[in-house]
Amino acid sequence: MERVSISVLAVLMALFATPLFLDLALCIAGNLFRARNPKAALGRSIRLAVVVPAHDEEGMIARTVRSLKAADGATTVFVVAHNCTDGTATAAADSGAQVVELNNRKLRGKGAALRHGFAAALASGANAVLVVDADTVVSPNLIAATRAKLEQGAEATQCRYELELPAVGAGHPLARLRALAFRGMNVLRARGRAGLGFSTGLFGNGFALTAAALERVPFDADSIAEDVEYHTKLAQAGIRVYWIDDEFVHGHSPVSGAAKATQEARWEGGRFRVASRATARLISALPQGRWRVLETLADVWSLPLSRGILALLLTLFLAVHWLHVFALVCAAIALLYVVQAALLGNEPMRDLASLVAAPLYLIWKALITPLVLRQSRSRAEWARTKREAHLP
């Protein structure tokens, strides 16, 4: 009986880890191929506007608007000041943005702010919107590259989204390791999917949608992971998100441990909540010939690599030979994944050196598990990450 229990536990552990490592293997392979462009849409003209949802971002919004204006001063930037209690609206207006205020305590999530901003942008004459978070710096050609991809025929795009190393403690291995893990989730995996012809996914920052896409799939995502939720709806409708590899958005990374834990738990918990609710919808699209939703399913159910490594470590406590072989194969996939993610950065050797902090990082991830589970049950609302200081 004990042997049967151990065998059942081994099978459950393998099933738990398989979606992650299968997805990683596909993405590693996909990075060896060039991302495919959409079918050309001759004579298509894109009038792009930028929408920046903001909740109490007085200290950072000016930097974001200036970054966008430096990228393309002719593009209108709509800042949605959503239930703000500080000077976000004034700071945004002074920096050259068009401010749209939304003051309604019943509308608490980022999704509500985005809908308000999309409506304002489309009413102004735009036929496509680019979403940028209020704590972000963008690359100089992001707006031009996004417009070009949409004019080629894409209905949705996503650019590189990476964490900006904090001004304080940027050289600490844990800070660099966290940025490396983020690059794996939001660059390597997306880039790999694009290379295989799949939809890259949406990451809440640096994505664009045409008016036609919004009309076909209204932005009614209201979970704490509204980007992941909306992407499942795009996949269900057969709309592919195309990858923009050469341009980026850099999001702010908090310094304090509490702020990092809250941010990480929100990302992970929100993804788990969406996965549990979207699975049936995605499976229902298969009879319609939309087989690409299988990759989207693998994506939403994939754990962060750190969680997968923790699961592999647990296999050491079970005396099941085939499970140990499975763990070794998964460990080799994880190693290739980490090396490839480091090579996609500007300082691969320093990124790889940060792996000395991996044990501490894994312990930290294990400790915040209860917070992740709580976030997976949370309703949609602004969960602003605490800033340590105002940026210039």
Q: In the chain, pLDDT over 90 holds for what percent of residues?
A: 60
| 88 close to 7: Cβ distance less than 8 angstroms | no
For residue 118, tell me if it sits in a domain: no
For residues 139 and 162, give the distance between their C-alpha atoms in angstroms, rounded to a whole number. Answer: 11
How many structural domains are present in the chain?
A: 1
For residue 301, tell me if it sits in a domain: yes
pLDDT in tens, 235-246: 999 999 999 999
Which run of H or of E encompasses 244?
strand 242-252
For residue 275, tell me if it sits in a domain: yes
pLDDT in tens, 174-213: 889 999 999 999 999 999 999 999 999 999 999 999 999 9
Q: Does 120 score more than 50 pLDDT? A: yes
Phi (first) and psi of residue 13, to 5 degrees:
-65, -40
Q: In the chain, pLDDT over 70 holds for what percent of residues?
A: 92
What is the separation of C-alpha 156 from the centre of its chain, rounded to a whole number of angstroms? 14
Of the pLDDT bands very low, low, confident and very high (cuts 50, 70, 90), residue 140 is very high
Q: Which domain holds residue 285?
A: 2-35+153-375
Q: Which amino acid is at 364?
A: W
For residue 91, tell me if it sits in a domain: no
Angle between helices 226-237 and 293-301 (to 10 degrees): 160
* Residue 115 exposure: Cα atoms within 13 Å on the Cβ side: 15
For residue 128, tell me if it sits in a domain: no
Prediction pTM value: 0.90
The lowest-confidence range among 193-207, 248-262, 293-307 is: 248-262
For residue 123, tell me if it sits in a domain: no
Q: Does 254 score more than 90 pLDDT? A: no
Q: Which of 5-19, 160-174, 221-235, 269-283 has the highest mean pLDDT?
A: 221-235
| Pairwise pLDDT comparison (94 vs 375), residue with the higher score | 94
Question: Is 284 strand, coil or helix?
Answer: helix
| Pairwise pLDDT comparison (298 vs 142), residue with the higher score | 142
Looking at the chain, list the stretches that DSSP marks H as alpha helix, in order from N- to C-terminal side. Answer: 2-30, 61-71, 88-94, 110-123, 142-151, 173-183, 189-195, 211-216, 226-237, 257-284, 293-301, 305-314, 321-343, 348-353, 358-367, 369-375
| Pairwise pLDDT comparison (295 vs 382), residue with the higher score | 295
> How much is the pLDDT for 335?
96
Find the mean pLDDT for residues 286-296. 88
For residue 72, tell me if it sits in a domain: no
Of the pLDDT bands very low, low, confident and very high (cuts 50, 70, 90), residue 273 is confident
For residue 124, tell me if it sits in a domain: no
For residues 10 and 61, give the distance between their C-alpha atoms in angstroms, rounded to a whole number. Answer: 49
> How much is the pLDDT for 392?
47
> How much is the pLDDT for 3?
63
